[in-house]
A and B are shown apart, each in its own frame.
Chain A
Amino acid sequence: MTFARDRYRTVIVGAGIVGLFTAHHLARAGAGPILVVDRGFLSSGSSGRNGGGVRQQWETRSTVRLARESVVAYRRFGREYGYNIWFRQGGYLFLADTEAEMARLRTVHDLVRSEGLDSRLVAPDAIGRWLDGIAPGTVAGGSYLATDGTLYPFPALWGLYEADRALGVEVALGVDVTGIGVDDGRVRRVTTASGTVATESVVNAAGGWSAELSARAGLVAPNTATRHEILATEPMKPFLDPMVVRVRDGLYFSQTMRGELVGGITVPHPPGTARGMPTSPRFLTEMARAMVGLLPRLGALNVMRAWSGFYDDTPDGLPVIGADPRLPGFFHANGFGGHGFMLAPAATRRVAAAVLDSPVDLDPAEFSLGRFLAPGATPRAERLQLG
């Protein structure tokens, strides 16, 4: 395919939730023409492979705020973008197995409450209210926030895709970006398999492939792609309202509107995208053991299919948002660590503001890529990288 123009004000690489939302904010601000390119089809990356969880329980205040703002946006999504994402606020239930984990959840709880959200601590004997049939003695307690929830990722993509195009955004799918052209110390061009276009700004919203894309602009980024696996069971009648997340091993699952349980567990895989997105026998068996161990009655339920996708991880567990301090015209909207959907509506407002050179209400020490450029290791800030 070829492009409609030879010059764009902004080229966004990645047509996932982050790229499409960023394009939307920019287009609404009249900052066109805008081109979104993606090497795959719509929904082929992590935005089409996640479990649809949206939560506001985090260990860092800024993340809680971004998530809270995103929840408001998702509640309105259907009326604004024409597609029903079935955002169901059934809550998020974190489970702690030990007192130490419970202490962590208490810290999260205090922070979340201080931001005006009605988080609750849950005693072990009260967990059965949400998780009927839980194996006795498996948890030390939990935390619960009723306004967290789950949504259908796909219609969010369709809604944004159509809304973006209605605003004049060009979306080119199946187009691989092969190079970012730099002259006089700033971004000038984007080269693709379908030709080269001139541009002033490039937004790296490439998710699991963001470090690769930064490298094409000659930039080293600390992001690493890690493969995570997920499965869906057969559909059954509603029996589980919240998303359940266990701190110890990252087990999570929720029941979709269609009745399937969808969830995963953290199984170590070598970093990098080169090995593709297969399912491993180890994941299937460990996930089954974890689900059945927690809720024995699930042993009588069938798993229908499994798949995998990539988390775009950063060393400190926080995303990278805003201008790259080394290359004017190159902007980051990546490093969401498997939580792009949760934070995208709010985070991309800041990305758009950065591209437009407007004030950004985020602390650069927390979110700029510059935080990794100073010597010394970056401490882990957000460790609640689950569910």
Chain B
Amino acid sequence: MTNAPARRFRLGGLRLTAADGETLVDALARRGLPRVVRSVRYHRPRAPFCGTGDCAGCLVRLNGRPNVRACRHPIEEGDRIEGSNGWPSAAVDLLGAVDVLFPHGIDTLRGFRRPAFATRLYHRVIRRLAGYSAAPDGAAAAGLRAPARELTADVVVVGGGVAGSAAAARLAAAGRSTVVVDRRFAPAAVAGANSIPAAQVTFLPPPAAGRDVPFELLGFAEPAQGLRLRSRAVVVATGGYDASLLFGGNDRPGVMAAELALRLAADGRRPPFAHPVIVGGGSRAGALLERLGRSVVAVVAPGEIAPEVAARASALEVPLYPRSLVLEAAGRRRVHTLRLRGRGDGPAFSISCDAVLLAHRRLPVVQLFFQAGAAMAWRGDPGAYYPHLSADGATTVPGLFAAGTVAGADGPAAAESGLRAAEAVLAGAPPGPAPSAPPPPADAGPLEGYYRELLREPRHGKWIACPCEDVLADEVETAHARGYQGIEVIKRYTALGTGVCQGRYCLPDALLLLAILEGRPPPAVGYITQRPPVVPTPLGALASLPPATAPEVVA
């Protein structure tokens, strides 16, 4: 703790304080599980899920600005914060009755068509249910206005984690002007490189052929400063994220990604849970176990549990449940029970807990590669696309390189991967060859068998296939049953993947679900076009960028 005075802020009618530099989520987490938002259709209570600003679990209205990620906003003195989508408040929301009254969901596709005279009433009601915060007010926009930042460099490194930092340090040491864009507020400095903290590149168009500086990236720095970065080469080291999992009540407050749990329990802080269950059996689960120790009530895994994780759990006397189907997280305002069944018709059982920490699958953040037009390759394990890379980390796009998790290099291999990408940039490595057709038969990965078993189970509670838009797994199945095929059509039919996380948390499981329903491997089901921006970007930031001087070149 610093000696800086606590910052006073208001959340609805509450007067609260935060430590210097503390975000709203961290400040609230000291008092319990933050619940500041209701879901868009059913007004289900929600709590933060990701801790990285990607999910819709902590959207608030901050000083008149809508949909601010509470996990990415350091509290300032006098902040006025309102929760989202609750009436009268997110904490006490009478519209939450919709969730209870319609246990199987409401059908906005085929319902509300009759009688004709009720049309206007239906429109009013459905419009009121939807949306997160109220529209912005003028003062909010005026307060955000900031001069845009335009930089030109030899290399832009997107992501300042282990791999990105290693790449940037090597490039800077070799005398290349290097910009590192990092979404963290206080990343470690990279010697010789120009670091832009609290910033994200959200649009990486294909490079303009024939231009001396072919890359032009758009993005923003928190809260709303426009960024335009031009470079000769780009190294993308955007890392990974913890995937979601489909089960009843998988959106309940207390179900969260490992990333958020690690953050809330960092530096000896007391997290807003006392009896968590860890889902997952790999190194990510091991990291959680290490951090949370004996408070963990169980480690459950869809598949096997790695021997080193099992050994650590035994030492801590934490029970292990490998090869378990997660059926339901029960608890309306907060999860209190996790219901499970052993795979292969094992016995059903329940675990009392106050948090479910998802650490079963870590996926790469690869949207920028899709945007840039790089050839991608499917990997059944973990069930994701990766850029198709040459031996030295070059993508099929000239001047675009990958490092770290997005290059398949995790843990100790990450730094080495960053160095390799830097060497490739320095050597002017050519783009990798396009993948040789046809690709090997696609592998649906280890979770496919898991989901096959799970789908045979009776369902309790809503299975939220897309939390941002409150789309149920049943709706995906209905669309399939009515003859619609392929993820692109299912997306448009159900609205799955069209919310603020842009499909990050729903697409991986939806692909598996559809692969099973349609009887073909995930790549044949398709993939949602990764549309820019990667992360929702303030209009004010984009508007502040002066018109580009170079003529538009269409790739």
Q: Is the CB of A84 within 8 A of B216?
A: no
B101 within 8 A of A: no
In chain B, positions 489-530 with a C-beta closer than 8 Å to chain A are: 489, 492-493, 495, 498-500, 502, 529
Q: Is the CB of A259 within 8 A of B537?
A: no
A258 within 8 A of B: yes
List chain A residues, Cβ under 8 A from B108. Answer: 84, 86
Q: Is the CB of B131 within 8 A of A237?
A: yes
Q: Is the CB of B134 within 8 A of A239?
A: yes
Q: Is the CB of A296 within 8 A of B138?
A: yes
Q: Is the CB of B136 within 8 A of A300?
A: yes
List chain A residues, Cβ under 8 A from B499. Answer: 235, 304
Q: How long is the Cα–Cα vector from A292 to B224 in the complex, in angstroms? A: 13
A249 within 8 A of B: no
List chain B residues, Cβ under 8 A from A284. Answer: 203, 218, 532-533, 542
Q: Is the CB of A238 within 8 A of B128?
A: yes
Q: Is the CB of A83 within 8 A of B543?
A: no
Per-residue CB proximity of B125-147 to A under 8 Å, as 1/0?
01110111111111011101100
> Given the known A-B contacts A236-B133, A275-B555, are A42 and B489 also in contact in the complex, defined by CB atoms under 8 Å?
yes
Q: Is the CB of A299 within 8 A of B133?
A: no
A168 within 8 A of B: no
**Which of chain B's residues has its CB closest to A42's CB?**
B489
B538 within 8 A of A: yes
List chain B residues, Cβ under 8 A from A48. Answer: 492
Q: Is the CB of A281 within 8 A of B216?
A: yes
Q: Is the CB of A299 within 8 A of B141?
A: yes
Q: How long is the Cα–Cα vector from A281 to B228 in the complex, in angstroms? A: 10
What bracket does the count of chain A residues touching chain B fall in?
Answer: 35 or more
Count residues on chain B whose CB falls below 8 Å from chain A CBs. Answer: 72
Query: Which stretch of B248-256, B408-416, B452-460, B545-553 is in the interface?
Result: B545-553
Q: How long is the Cα–Cα vector from A293 to B529 in the complex, in angstroms? A: 30
List chain B residues, Cβ under 8 A from A259. Answer: 40, 127, 130-132
> Given the known A-B contacts A235-B40, A279-B532, are A300 and B123 also in contact in the complex, defined by CB atoms under 8 Å?
no
Q: Is the CB of B543 within 8 A of A297?
A: no
Q: Is the CB of B203 within 8 A of A270?
A: no
Q: Is the CB of A300 within 8 A of B66?
A: yes
Q: How long is the Cα–Cα vector from A26 to B141 in the complex, in angstroms? A: 53
A60 within 8 A of B: no
Q: How long is the Cα–Cα vector from A171 to B495 in the complex, in angstroms? A: 23
A89 to chain B, nearest CB (A): 9
Q: Is the CB of A297 within 8 A of B532?
A: no
B286 to chain A, nearest CB (A): 36
> Given the known A-B contacts A284-B218, A300-B538, are A307 and B113 also in contact in the complex, defined by CB atoms under 8 Å?
no
A194 to chain B, nearest CB (A): 16
Q: Is the CB of A301 within 8 A of B66?
A: yes
> Given the known A-B contacts A237-B133, A282-B552, are A299 and B489 also in contact in the complex, defined by CB atoms under 8 Å?
no
Q: Is the CB of B136 within 8 A of A301?
A: yes
Q: Is the CB of B555 within 8 A of A285?
A: no
Q: Is the CB of A288 within 8 A of B552?
A: no
List chain A residues, Cβ under 8 A from B142. Answer: 296, 299
Query: Which stretch of A154-162, A177-185, A310-318, A355-363 is in the interface?
Result: A154-162
Return the contact of A158 from the options B65, B109, B145, B486 (Cβ within 8 A): B109
A2 within 8 A of B: no
Return the contact of B138 from the options A133, A233, A280 (Cβ within 8 A): A133
B205 within 8 A of A: yes
Q: Is the CB of B492 within 8 A of A83?
A: no
**Which of chain A's residues has its CB closest to B65's CB?**
A300
Q: How long is the Cα–Cα vector from A41 to B416 in the complex, in angstroms? A: 43
Question: Does more than half of chain A's interface fall in helix, strand or loop, or is it mixed?
Answer: mixed
Q: Is the CB of B145 within 8 A of A299?
A: yes
**Which of chain A's residues has its CB closest to B136's CB?**
A300
Return the contact of B67 from the options A239, A270, A288, A302 (Cβ within 8 A): A302
B484 within 8 A of A: yes
Most buried by A among B140, B536, B543: B543
Per-residue CB proximity of B146-172 to A under 8 Å, as 1/0?
000000000000000000000000000
B391 within 8 A of A: no
A197 to chain B, nearest CB (A): 22
Q: Is the CB of A235 within 8 A of B548?
A: no
A307 to chain B, nearest CB (A): 5
Return the contact of A42 from the options B112, B133, B484, B498 (Cβ within 8 A): B484
B65 to chain A, nearest CB (A): 4
Q: How long is the Cα–Cα vector from A296 to B540 in the complex, in angstroms? A: 8
Q: How long is the Cα–Cα vector from A234 to B111 in the complex, in angstroms? A: 25
> Given the known A-B contacts A154-B492, A234-B536, A236-B134, are A285 and B109 also in contact in the complex, defined by CB atoms under 8 Å?
no
B524 to chain A, nearest CB (A): 12
Q: Is the CB of B131 within 8 A of A238?
A: yes
Return the contact of B109 from the options A79, A84, A269 (Cβ within 8 A): A84
> Given the known A-B contacts A154-B493, A257-B123, A269-B554, are A79 and B114 also in contact in the complex, defined by CB atoms under 8 Å?
yes
List chain B residues, Cβ under 8 A from A133. Answer: 137-138
B52 to chain A, nearest CB (A): 16
List chain B residues, Cβ under 8 A from A289. Answer: 542-543
Most buried by B among A79, A162, A239, A304: A304
In chain A, positions 257-305 with a C-beta closer than 8 Å to chain B are: 257-259, 269-270, 275, 278-282, 284-289, 291-293, 296-305
**What are some 7 contacts across the A-B interface (CB < 8 A)?**
A235-B499, A258-B495, A278-B554, A281-B228, A281-B552, A298-B141, A300-B540
Residue ranges of B at the interface with A (Cβ–Cβ < 8 Å): 40, 64-67, 85, 108-114, 116, 119, 123, 126-128, 130-138, 140-142, 144-145, 203, 205-206, 216, 218, 224, 228, 469, 482, 484-486, 488-489, 492-493, 495, 498-500, 502, 529, 531-533, 536-543, 545, 547-548, 552, 554-555
Q: A279-B532, A298-B539 are in contact. List 15 more A-B contacts (CB 8 A).
A: A48-B492, A75-B116, A78-B114, A82-B110, A155-B109, A234-B132, A235-B130, A237-B134, A237-B135, A257-B126, A284-B542, A297-B141, A300-B539, A301-B135, A303-B542
